[in-house]
Amino acid sequence: MEYIKQGEDILLKTSDFDLDETLDCGQAFRWERQGNGSECVYRGFMLNTPLTVSAEKDYFRFRDTDESTFVNVWLPYFDLETDYSEIKRIFSEDPALSKACAYAGGIRILRQDSWEALCSFIISQNNNIPRIKGIIGRLCEMYGGFPKFEDMNGISPDDLAPLRAGFRAKYIADCVRKLNDREIVLDDIKNFPTEEIRKILMTIKGVGPKVADCAMLYGMYRIDCVPMDVWMKRVMEQFYPDGFPEFVLPYAGIAQQYLFHYMRTGT
DNA sequence: TTCCAGGCGTATC
DNA sequence: GATACGCATGGA
Protein backbone atom coordinates (compact mmCIF):
# COMPACT_ATOMS: atom_id res chain seq x y z
CA MET A 1 0.00 0.00 0.00
CA GLU A 2 1.37 3.39 -1.00
CA TYR A 3 -0.13 6.72 -1.91
CA ILE A 4 0.85 9.96 -3.58
CA LYS A 5 -0.78 13.36 -3.82
CA GLN A 6 -1.90 14.65 -7.19
CA GLY A 7 -3.23 18.19 -6.85
CA GLU A 8 -6.20 18.01 -4.51
CA ASP A 9 -6.53 14.26 -4.96
CA ILE A 10 -4.77 11.33 -3.37
CA LEU A 11 -3.85 8.33 -5.45
CA LEU A 12 -3.60 4.99 -3.74
CA LYS A 13 -1.96 1.84 -5.03
CA THR A 14 -3.03 -1.31 -3.25
CA SER A 15 -4.17 -4.87 -3.87
CA ASP A 16 -7.08 -6.88 -2.54
CA PHE A 17 -9.46 -3.95 -2.80
CA ASP A 18 -12.60 -3.63 -4.89
CA LEU A 19 -15.02 -0.77 -4.34
CA ASP A 20 -18.15 -2.56 -5.55
CA GLU A 21 -17.43 -5.61 -3.46
CA THR A 22 -16.54 -3.62 -0.34
CA LEU A 23 -19.08 -0.81 -0.41
CA ASP A 24 -22.03 -2.79 -1.74
CA CYS A 25 -21.89 -5.96 0.33
CA GLY A 26 -24.19 -4.99 3.17
CA GLN A 27 -21.73 -3.76 5.75
CA ALA A 28 -22.30 -0.01 5.27
CA PHE A 29 -25.36 1.83 3.99
CA ARG A 30 -24.22 5.34 3.16
CA TRP A 31 -22.28 4.80 -0.06
CA GLU A 32 -23.86 5.56 -3.41
CA ARG A 33 -22.48 4.46 -6.72
CA GLN A 34 -22.23 7.41 -9.08
CA GLY A 35 -22.58 7.70 -12.81
CA ASN A 36 -23.49 5.28 -15.52
CA GLY A 37 -21.97 2.01 -14.40
CA SER A 38 -18.98 1.91 -16.70
CA GLU A 39 -16.79 3.80 -14.27
CA CYS A 40 -16.62 2.84 -10.62
CA VAL A 41 -17.19 5.91 -8.44
CA TYR A 42 -18.65 6.03 -4.94
CA ARG A 43 -19.65 8.97 -2.79
CA GLY A 44 -20.34 8.54 0.88
CA PHE A 45 -19.53 9.33 4.47
CA MET A 46 -17.95 8.05 7.64
CA LEU A 47 -20.18 9.86 10.14
CA ASN A 48 -20.07 13.28 8.48
CA THR A 49 -16.68 13.05 6.83
CA PRO A 50 -17.31 12.99 3.07
CA LEU A 51 -15.40 11.12 0.38
CA THR A 52 -15.53 10.46 -3.32
CA VAL A 53 -13.47 7.45 -4.27
CA SER A 54 -13.01 5.89 -7.68
CA ALA A 55 -11.16 2.97 -9.20
CA GLU A 56 -8.95 3.91 -12.11
CA LYS A 57 -6.52 1.82 -14.11
CA ASP A 58 -3.61 1.46 -11.72
CA TYR A 59 -4.81 3.18 -8.59
CA PHE A 60 -7.71 4.42 -6.52
CA ARG A 61 -8.46 8.13 -6.55
CA PHE A 62 -9.61 9.72 -3.29
CA ARG A 63 -11.37 13.06 -3.82
CA ASP A 64 -13.10 15.63 -1.62
CA THR A 65 -10.65 14.91 1.18
CA ASP A 66 -7.15 15.91 2.28
CA GLU A 67 -3.99 14.07 3.24
CA SER A 68 -4.54 14.25 6.98
CA THR A 69 -8.12 12.96 6.67
CA PHE A 70 -6.97 10.29 4.26
CA VAL A 71 -4.36 9.04 6.72
CA ASN A 72 -6.42 9.38 9.89
CA VAL A 73 -9.89 8.41 8.62
CA TRP A 74 -9.82 6.57 5.31
CA LEU A 75 -6.75 4.36 5.68
CA PRO A 76 -8.17 2.80 8.84
CA TYR A 77 -11.79 2.88 7.55
CA PHE A 78 -10.93 0.76 4.52
CA ASP A 79 -8.60 -1.40 6.65
CA LEU A 80 -5.81 -0.64 4.20
CA GLU A 81 -3.02 -1.45 6.60
CA THR A 82 -4.15 -5.07 6.94
CA ASP A 83 -2.63 -7.65 4.61
CA TYR A 84 -5.64 -9.38 3.06
CA SER A 85 -3.40 -11.47 0.79
CA GLU A 86 -2.12 -13.25 3.85
CA ILE A 87 -5.63 -13.77 5.22
CA LYS A 88 -6.81 -15.14 1.88
CA ARG A 89 -3.79 -17.43 1.76
CA ILE A 90 -4.90 -18.89 5.07
CA PHE A 91 -8.49 -19.20 3.77
CA SER A 92 -7.31 -20.97 0.62
CA GLU A 93 -6.93 -24.17 2.68
CA ASP A 94 -10.71 -24.32 2.93
CA PRO A 95 -12.72 -25.24 -0.21
CA ALA A 96 -15.78 -23.05 0.32
CA LEU A 97 -13.78 -20.04 1.46
CA SER A 98 -11.39 -20.51 -1.40
CA LYS A 99 -14.30 -20.22 -3.83
CA ALA A 100 -15.78 -17.23 -2.00
CA CYS A 101 -12.43 -15.42 -2.14
CA ALA A 102 -12.04 -16.21 -5.82
CA TYR A 103 -15.56 -14.88 -6.43
CA ALA A 104 -14.98 -11.54 -4.65
CA GLY A 105 -11.43 -11.20 -3.37
CA GLY A 106 -11.60 -7.43 -3.11
CA ILE A 107 -13.79 -7.29 -0.04
CA ARG A 108 -12.43 -5.51 3.00
CA ILE A 109 -13.97 -5.09 6.42
CA LEU A 110 -14.94 -1.47 6.92
CA ARG A 111 -13.81 -0.18 10.30
CA GLN A 112 -16.80 2.02 10.98
CA ASP A 113 -17.70 4.29 13.84
CA SER A 114 -19.16 2.28 16.70
CA TRP A 115 -22.31 4.38 17.09
CA GLU A 116 -22.96 4.59 13.35
CA ALA A 117 -22.61 0.83 13.01
CA LEU A 118 -24.80 0.07 16.03
CA CYS A 119 -27.54 2.43 14.88
CA SER A 120 -27.39 1.17 11.29
CA PHE A 121 -27.67 -2.48 12.24
CA ILE A 122 -30.54 -1.87 14.64
CA ILE A 123 -32.32 -0.48 11.59
CA SER A 124 -31.21 -3.44 9.47
CA GLN A 125 -33.17 -6.10 11.31
CA ASN A 126 -35.86 -7.92 9.32
CA ASN A 127 -35.32 -5.38 6.57
CA ASN A 128 -33.84 -5.20 3.10
CA ILE A 129 -30.81 -3.21 2.05
CA PRO A 130 -32.51 -0.56 -0.15
CA ARG A 131 -34.94 0.21 2.64
CA ILE A 132 -32.19 0.28 5.29
CA LYS A 133 -30.44 2.87 3.15
CA GLY A 134 -33.69 4.83 2.84
CA ILE A 135 -34.28 4.98 6.58
CA ILE A 136 -30.70 6.00 7.33
CA GLY A 137 -30.90 8.59 4.56
CA ARG A 138 -34.01 10.10 6.12
CA LEU A 139 -32.32 10.09 9.53
CA CYS A 140 -29.48 12.12 8.01
CA GLU A 141 -31.97 14.48 6.35
CA MET A 142 -33.70 15.04 9.66
CA TYR A 143 -30.47 16.08 11.36
CA GLY A 144 -28.53 17.58 8.46
CA GLY A 145 -26.04 14.73 8.52
CA PHE A 146 -25.58 11.60 10.54
CA PRO A 147 -26.52 12.68 14.07
CA LYS A 148 -24.41 12.10 17.12
CA PHE A 149 -26.42 10.23 19.72
CA GLU A 150 -26.12 13.41 21.80
CA ASP A 151 -28.03 15.26 19.07
CA MET A 152 -30.85 12.75 19.50
CA ASN A 153 -31.03 13.05 23.28
CA GLY A 154 -34.63 12.79 24.53
CA ILE A 155 -35.98 11.48 21.23
CA SER A 156 -39.19 9.45 21.33
CA PRO A 157 -40.33 6.81 18.83
CA ASP A 158 -43.02 9.24 17.61
CA ASP A 159 -40.36 11.85 16.89
CA LEU A 160 -38.78 9.32 14.54
CA ALA A 161 -41.99 8.73 12.56
CA PRO A 162 -40.67 10.56 9.48
CA LEU A 163 -37.99 7.88 9.12
CA ARG A 164 -40.72 5.27 8.46
CA ALA A 165 -38.57 2.81 10.38
CA GLY A 166 -41.58 0.90 11.64
CA PHE A 167 -41.18 -1.05 14.86
CA ARG A 168 -37.46 -0.21 14.91
CA ALA A 169 -38.13 3.39 15.99
CA LYS A 170 -38.58 2.33 19.61
CA TYR A 171 -35.32 0.38 19.45
CA ILE A 172 -33.42 3.42 18.18
CA ALA A 173 -34.98 5.51 20.94
CA ASP A 174 -33.93 3.01 23.60
CA CYS A 175 -30.38 2.85 22.25
CA VAL A 176 -30.11 6.65 22.17
CA ARG A 177 -31.37 6.91 25.74
CA LYS A 178 -28.93 4.31 27.08
CA LEU A 179 -25.99 6.03 25.38
CA ASN A 180 -26.97 9.49 26.57
CA ASP A 181 -27.58 8.26 30.12
CA ARG A 182 -24.10 6.69 29.93
CA GLU A 183 -25.68 3.39 30.86
CA ILE A 184 -23.54 2.19 27.96
CA VAL A 185 -20.32 3.95 26.91
CA LEU A 186 -19.21 2.56 23.57
CA ASP A 187 -15.69 3.95 23.87
CA ASP A 188 -15.26 2.08 27.13
CA ILE A 189 -16.85 -1.25 26.32
CA LYS A 190 -15.05 -1.60 23.01
CA ASN A 191 -11.99 -2.64 25.02
CA PHE A 192 -13.88 -5.34 26.93
CA PRO A 193 -13.80 -9.05 26.07
CA THR A 194 -16.08 -9.91 23.17
CA GLU A 195 -18.57 -11.91 25.24
CA GLU A 196 -18.94 -9.06 27.67
CA ILE A 197 -19.52 -6.48 24.93
CA ARG A 198 -22.15 -8.70 23.38
CA LYS A 199 -23.97 -9.07 26.67
CA ILE A 200 -23.95 -5.31 27.29
CA LEU A 201 -25.11 -4.42 23.76
CA MET A 202 -27.94 -6.93 24.05
CA THR A 203 -29.41 -4.98 26.96
CA ILE A 204 -30.53 -2.47 24.30
CA LYS A 205 -34.03 -3.18 23.05
CA GLY A 206 -33.87 -4.54 19.53
CA VAL A 207 -30.26 -5.67 19.85
CA GLY A 208 -29.95 -9.44 19.74
CA PRO A 209 -26.96 -11.63 18.91
CA LYS A 210 -26.88 -10.73 15.23
CA VAL A 211 -27.08 -6.96 15.60
CA ALA A 212 -24.59 -7.07 18.49
CA ASP A 213 -22.12 -9.01 16.37
CA CYS A 214 -22.51 -6.56 13.48
CA ALA A 215 -21.89 -3.65 15.84
CA MET A 216 -18.76 -5.41 17.11
CA LEU A 217 -17.43 -6.58 13.75
CA TYR A 218 -17.98 -3.36 11.81
CA GLY A 219 -17.95 -0.84 14.65
CA MET A 220 -15.25 -2.27 16.93
CA TYR A 221 -13.20 -4.37 14.52
CA ARG A 222 -13.86 -7.62 16.36
CA ILE A 223 -12.96 -9.74 13.35
CA ASP A 224 -13.68 -12.96 15.23
CA CYS A 225 -17.41 -12.08 15.37
CA VAL A 226 -19.69 -13.82 12.89
CA PRO A 227 -23.11 -12.15 12.55
CA MET A 228 -25.59 -15.02 12.02
CA ASP A 229 -28.28 -13.81 9.67
CA VAL A 230 -30.43 -15.92 7.36
CA TRP A 231 -27.69 -16.05 4.72
CA MET A 232 -24.91 -17.11 7.07
CA LYS A 233 -27.16 -19.78 8.55
CA ARG A 234 -27.49 -21.21 5.04
CA VAL A 235 -23.70 -21.03 4.60
CA MET A 236 -23.08 -22.85 7.88
CA GLU A 237 -25.66 -25.54 7.14
CA GLN A 238 -24.32 -26.12 3.68
CA PHE A 239 -20.56 -25.91 4.19
CA TYR A 240 -19.75 -25.99 7.92
CA PRO A 241 -22.18 -28.25 9.79
CA ASP A 242 -19.50 -28.68 12.49
CA GLY A 243 -18.48 -25.00 12.52
CA PHE A 244 -15.52 -23.21 10.96
CA PRO A 245 -12.16 -25.01 10.98
CA GLU A 246 -9.82 -23.92 13.75
CA PHE A 247 -7.48 -21.90 11.54
CA VAL A 248 -10.36 -19.71 10.34
CA LEU A 249 -11.62 -18.74 13.79
CA PRO A 250 -9.32 -15.75 14.47
CA TYR A 251 -10.57 -14.20 11.19
CA ALA A 252 -14.06 -15.68 11.19
CA GLY A 253 -15.69 -12.27 10.75
CA ILE A 254 -13.72 -11.65 7.57
CA ALA A 255 -14.51 -15.17 6.38
CA GLN A 256 -18.15 -14.37 7.07
CA GLN A 257 -17.97 -11.33 4.79
CA TYR A 258 -16.60 -13.28 1.83
CA LEU A 259 -19.07 -16.13 2.37
CA PHE A 260 -22.06 -13.86 2.94
CA HIS A 261 -21.41 -12.02 -0.31
CA TYR A 262 -20.77 -15.27 -2.18
CA MET A 263 -23.99 -16.86 -0.91
CA ARG A 264 -26.11 -13.77 -1.46
CA THR A 265 -24.94 -12.70 -4.92
CA GLY A 266 -22.83 -15.56 -6.27
CA THR A 267 -23.82 -19.17 -7.03
C1' DT B 1 -52.69 -10.47 -3.11
C1' DT B 2 -49.07 -12.59 -0.77
C1' DC B 3 -44.35 -13.06 0.44
C1' DC B 4 -40.05 -11.56 2.11
C1' DA B 5 -36.27 -8.68 3.96
C1' DG B 6 -28.33 -8.90 7.09
C1' DG B 7 -34.01 -10.28 13.81
C1' DC B 8 -35.88 -9.59 17.96
C1' DG B 9 -39.39 -9.39 21.89
C1' DT B 10 -42.75 -11.98 24.05
C1' DA B 11 -45.45 -15.88 25.41
C1' DT B 12 -45.45 -20.62 26.30
C1' DC B 13 -43.75 -25.07 27.27
C1' DG C 1 -33.40 -23.53 26.27
C1' DA C 2 -36.27 -24.24 22.55
C1' DT C 3 -40.01 -23.04 19.54
C1' DA C 4 -43.97 -20.17 17.48
C1' DC C 5 -45.68 -15.88 16.36
C1' DG C 6 -46.26 -10.88 15.57
C1' DC C 7 -44.11 -6.87 14.00
C1' DA C 8 -43.86 -1.61 10.31
C1' DT C 9 -42.84 -0.83 5.84
C1' DG C 10 -42.27 -1.30 0.98
C1' DG C 11 -40.69 -3.78 -3.16
C1' DA C 12 -41.25 -7.93 -6.01
**Order of strands across the sheet that contains A60-63:** A2-6, A9-13, A60-63, A49-55, A40-46, A31-34
Q: Based on the domain organization, do A184 and A118 belong to the same domain?
A: yes
A26 touches strand B (CB under 7 A): yes
Q: Does residue A266 lie in a domain region?
A: no
The answer to whether residues A145 and A208 belong to one domain is yes
CATH number of the domain within which A53 lies: 3.30.310.260
A262 touches strand B (CB under 7 A): no
- CA A202 to chain CA mean position, Å: 19
Nucleotide nearest to A260 (CA to C1'): B6
Number of domains in chain A: 2
Q: Is the CB atom of residue A158 positioned under 7 angstroms from any atom of strand C?
A: no
What is this structure's pTM? 0.97
Q: In this structure, is the CB of residue A167 within 7 Å of any atom belonging to strand C?
A: yes
Question: Is A170 part of a structural domain of the chain?
Answer: yes
Closest CA-bearing residue to C1' of C8: A166
| Burial group, residue A119, by CB count within 10 angstroms (0-12, 13-18, 19+) | buried
Give the domain range for residue A200. Answer: 114-220
- Mean pLDDT, to the nearest integer, of A111-118? 98
- Shared domain for A49 and A8, answered yes or no, is yes
* Residue lying closest to nucleotide B8, CA to C1': A206
Looking up residue A157, the CATH number of its domain turns out to be 1.10.340.30
What's the pLDDT at A35? 85
pLDDT in tens, A31-81: 999 988 889 999 999 999 999 999 999 999 999 999 999 999 999 999 999
- Distance (Å, rounded) from C-alpha A144 to C-alpha A150? 14
pLDDT band of A207, cuts 50, 70, 90: very high
